[in-house]
Amino acid sequence: MNGGTSNMSRLLADYAVLNQGTDDELICYGYEDNKVKKFIFLVLVVVTFGLILLLLYWKPELECYLKKSKCALYKADTVLLEDHYQQKHVCSIKTFNLEEELSEFSDAYNRDESSPENHTDVNDVASLTVQQPDPIICYFDFQHVRYIWSKHLKTYTRLLDLSANTKCGEFHEKYKGLSVLQQAHRRVVYGENSIDVEVKSYWRLFIEEVLNPFYIFQIASIILWSLDQYYYYAACIFLISCISMGVSLYETKRQMVTLHNMVSTASTAVSVVREDGTYDNIPVTDLVPGDVIVIPSHGCTMTCDAVLMAGTCIVNESMLTGESVPITKTPLHQCEDEEIYSPEQHKRHTLFSGTKVIQTRYYGQYKVLAVVVRTGFSTAKGELVRGILFPKPLGFKFYQDAMRFIMFLAVVALFGMCYSIIQYIRLKASPERIILRVLDIITIIVPPALPAAMTVGTVYAQNRLKKKQIYCISPPRINFCGRLNLLCFDKTGTLTEDGLDLGKVIPVKDKNFTHGINDPSLMERGDFLVGMATCHSLTIIDGEISGDPMDVIMFNATKWSLEEPGRDTSKFDTIMPTVVRPATKDTFMPDEDLGDATQFEVGIVRQFTFSSSLKRMSVITRTLGKSHMDVYCKGAVETICMLCNQDTVPEDIDGVLRQYAVQGLRVIGLASRSLDPKITWHQAQRIPRDKVECDMTFLGLIVMQNKLKKETKPVIKTLLAANLRCVMITGDMITTAVSVARNCGMVGSRDRVVIVDAHKPESSNDQARIEWELSEMNVEESPETSDYDSEDTTPFLTSSLYEKFSTDFKGYKYHAAKQVTSRVQIDEVQTHLAVSGKSFSVIEKYFPDLLPKICVQGTIFARMLPDQKCQLIQKQQELGYIVGMCGDGANDCEALKAAHAGISLSEAEASVAAPFTSRVNHIECVVTLMREGRGALVTSFGCFKYMALYSFIQFISVMILYTYGVNLGDMQFLYIDLVITTTIAVLMGYTQSYERLSVQRPEGSLVKPSNLLSILLQVFCAAQSWYEVVEPEGGEMKVSWESTVIFISSSFQYIVVAFVFSKGPPFRKRIYTNVPYLASLLLLTAFSAGLVLLPWKPLMDFFTLMRLDQKPVMFRALLLTIVAAHFIVAVIIEYLVTDNKTMKSCIKRCVQCLRPKKSQSAYKRVERELVLADWPPVGQVTYAPTVCGDADPTSIMLDNMQADATVTR
């Protein structure tokens, strides 16, 4: 009964929450037609002469309120969607009948639908269509995502595909190919497999542009000016609007074409496997989830996401990740059958849409097969493209404040309209004249060119960035770059070089490290050398070895050769993906017992590709002539040690490992084991990974150096000098990351680093804990590796000079590494936290109260998984940071998209990996982007303040003239709006950004007290009465002394405020560097002065001015003196008052007194707490609250000599 009541309540509900708990969460309201409301709406259309239709175009949600009524979702014909950002969208409900849609296929293919072998599997389709076998399906599409009505759930839900709730085993058992009818069925449900960015026609773009509120306002203004007999002015504004619209249409069309070409793929045919095992060629647009496709041997560009089932593929994923290193994709193995398939977790088995398959490998006559899991905009590429088409609101205060200011101007216009009505009634003007004057106030106080003026700085900045090979697909984010206060960097490939130098290898013998070997090719042929030669995922492309740079370096150091398999492979029982052999004359080894074989060769039977979550990769190999197979595994040292038999791991491995890690060297562990001779090749293809990666023998360490890029240290120094926080987020081990942070200057030479080591509960009675350990403790020089530290044998070591010294701190005696840097003066020793990905997840779950402190004080985040990088950036954003992220693609994609400004270092000119793409492969682009962002933001502020002053000056001027029945002439308006204002607004943003990055950051809000004070004081200065009033002789005049003096004085005022708002350093270069702008200001000043000093009669008549030469010279001199006084006062206000630090401090204190409860950024509050508290608790253990409700974590001091001893609370 309760279940029935619950189902009924869900059925009758008029709203539902879709995608609950995700960033795509939607509140869905149901609406249906209301005949009474429709009739009333038609009346409103007639009464408002169709203007209400414009409101519906601008605000589509009004259609639901004005024409429809709320109803239960199941009978709605329209849904109103409210997203996570409170934006509203309207979608129409559509239906289709599967039986009708599919009726043609039975005739076209001459098949009997009723036969069991050709009938669509109801249960199969039900899982794809949200368990709804009903032939009539209701759905709506929102931002290229389809939502279908579920009769079971009594609500709309997102259409599922094979990437959700599908076990890996089902791909092997269930998906052998679809029949024509099954495929058609799914095609009706899922739609076409295409990522088509619509390129609108010029006519459609023109209509949409004309209906823009800006152009509607322009059209209304032009009509008003024409009725007021301002024909020349109206004609010029019309011409300028047409030119502006043409340029806008061209740019919009060009951007659409660029994006369309970037994401589209050629429409080709693809071979699919049918249900009966036959092959059929179909267009790629007809692919649906569940199709089994054949990957051609010559390669292709993927148009869907598909999981690889047979064969291997070499793929270039630069379109998605910005990283052009070839990646090997291996088939989904049956050992993973019980796992739930996830494109992210199983990305090494997934071919993603938009990526290019370079070549394929297959066994015998078998084809390379893959099962389609996602199509169209549901693919990984489609999701990224949707992020471009429908970006999340940036929430930048500047744009929000601009809208508020326009509303304020509208209120001012309302008062001006009331004042004008009173004055013209007093002057007994005609009703027509009063209406024209009142409406004209709106066109004066609300400048129609304001939106365009605000984007000028961004446009210029984007063009300058393009010249510096930094490409942007989201121009509004350029202004965000001017406000960044936290910069996150990946390590490998970003701070350090992509390539690695092999330092040496350190084999293990009898559980002890031997002396390091600089040239591995000189080693005796054993497991260590074979492991280096085989444990990789390299391939040969166009005759060259390609793959991960580290694998290439490691393999080349062995001086072995790698060969792709040929036809003669019978000696390996079956075809091998890769064969390696020594490239020396010693290849032939008659002294070894290899049976009939005389050549030493190793075939790689199977690869377990590198997994960032597992932190390792491994291979199964077979050496020619041996009766068993071997397993070789390499990866993070701590991971490899856990997989090995502990009797083979040296006891001093921790000390040796730290010895190299603190020098910034990358250390990789290598291990091996022999498999049972009974295991056949076919069994090796199916054996689970965890069954072979166990009980291994530890072989030794491979030490590699990841050199800093030469630009890294100067850039980090520049950012820190500008008081910008820098953070490293890497997948490398924590000790290496700490060393690199010291080498690049992210951590000062005298700063201390505290390792945050968090542990989850080991049992139900245990508690989660955090151990706070001082980094670089007990770094003793190992006798086994002392030769490695000598200068003559370590040319690959970092340039930093390390000195050993002892220090006592809170009872700890430890050795630390001191780096000599170029910093001369250090104010204080700072504390930096270093956190591993494992600790981060434990803290996030068990210590949520400590997470803000760790995010604020953490500088090094190591062993971070891709999703953890994204989570960290989101946590920083929640604390109020404006975050920039710089990475080289691949594992950084999620973080790059999440950051306010994500910068991908990529050779691709354009990719969907991040909002910004730099073809200059070092982090200097970060400084460039910040400088341009700051310049663009300050330019936008300057343009906005200028347009605001322009509006106020003209508004006050006209109000004064209206008081006496006078107005400016046609040419006077034209000169002010077209010649002065437009020229200034266009050229003001041409000033380049300042060459240095300052500590000061530009304001992010227009309503900051300093900005408001600047505008108000300038308005007050410009609004003073500088002339004597002459009473009009009757009627409205356009030629009078009032209009003449107002026109001349206001012309100078526009130029003066343009000059004072064109500030130079610290964000832009000085005004004289902008030659066109300075020249225009000087010419405009000279022309306006010429009107006063040399009043030429034809010119005075053209501007409808009174003859100034009829006035005494002292009158004209006084007029220019007043203009000069205004210039001096304006400069004093802007540079000595509003920009004065003391004045800003006083204003800030006054504001704090008036608004003491004003919210402060969360990270600032945390910083203040950290300054007042003695934190972190170094040498202590912090326990998570107990179940019975401890309020705060408790820290307990560890015994100095027994850090691992049991501590009681």
DSSP 829-895: --EEEEEEHHHHHHHHHH-TTTHHHHHHHEEEEES--HHHHHHHHHHHHHTT--EEEEE-SGGGHHH
**What three-state secondary structure class fits 609?**
strand
Number of helical (H) and strand (E) elements in the chain, helices listed first: 39, 44
Please report where in the chains the tokens 């408001």 appear, as a residue.
Answer: 1012
Distance CA 839, CA 677 (A): 41
Instruction: Return the structure tokens found at 28.
Output: 């869905």
Q: Are 558 and 594 in contact (CB under 8 A)?
A: no
866-872: Cβ within 8 A, 24+ apart: 866/344, 866/612, 866/891, 866/892, 866/893, 866/894, 866/895, 867/344, 867/894, 868/837, 868/840, 868/841, 869/729, 869/894, 869/895, 870/894, 870/895, 870/897, 870/898, 871/840, 871/844, 872/488, 872/729, 872/840
Instruction: Return the structure tokens found at 604.
Output: 């790689």
Of 792, 960, 928, the residue nearest 419 (C-alpha): 960
Instruction: Return the structure tokens found at 1069.
Output: 């270069």
For 502, 505, 608, 673, the CA distances from 528, given in Å and listed in that order, are 15, 9, 19, 11
Q: Are 319 and 357 in contact (CB under 8 A)?
A: no
How many Cβ atoms from other residues are within 10 Å of residue 567's Cβ? Answer: 6
Q: Which helix (H) or strand (E) holds 735?
A: helix 734-744
C-alpha torsion 297→300→303→309, nearest 10: 20
* Catalytic residue list: 490
Strand ordering across the sheet containing 578-582:
512-513, 501-509, 697-705, 665-674, 630-636, 616-623, 602-611, 578-582, 560-563
Distance CA 130, CA 996 (A): 57
**Is beta strand 812-819 parallel, antiparallel or unpaired with respect to 802-809?**
antiparallel
Alpha carbon 655 to its chain centroid, in Å, reads 39
Q: State phi, psi for 718 to the nearest 5 degrees.
A: -65, -45
- Tell me, what DSSP letter sits at residue 1134? I
Instruction: Return the structure tokens found at 350.
Output: 């997934």
| Cis before 296 (ω within 30) | no
Q: Are 163 and 146 in contact (CB under 8 A)?
A: no
**Is beta strand 725-729 parallel, antiparallel or unpaired with respect to 858-862?**
parallel
Strand ordering across the sheet containing 725-729:
470-472, 916-918, 901-905, 883-887, 486-489, 725-729, 858-862, 831-836, 752-759, 769-774, 1180-1183, 1194-1197
Instruction: Return the structure tokens found at 148.
Output: 């279908």
DSSP 1158-1206: ----HHHHHHHHHHHS--S-TTEEEEPPPTTT-SS-EEEEPPSS-TTS-
Distance CA 439, CA 421 (A): 10
| Cis before 1066 (ω within 30) | yes
**Is beta strand 292-294 parallel, antiparallel or unpaired with respect to 279-283?**
unpaired
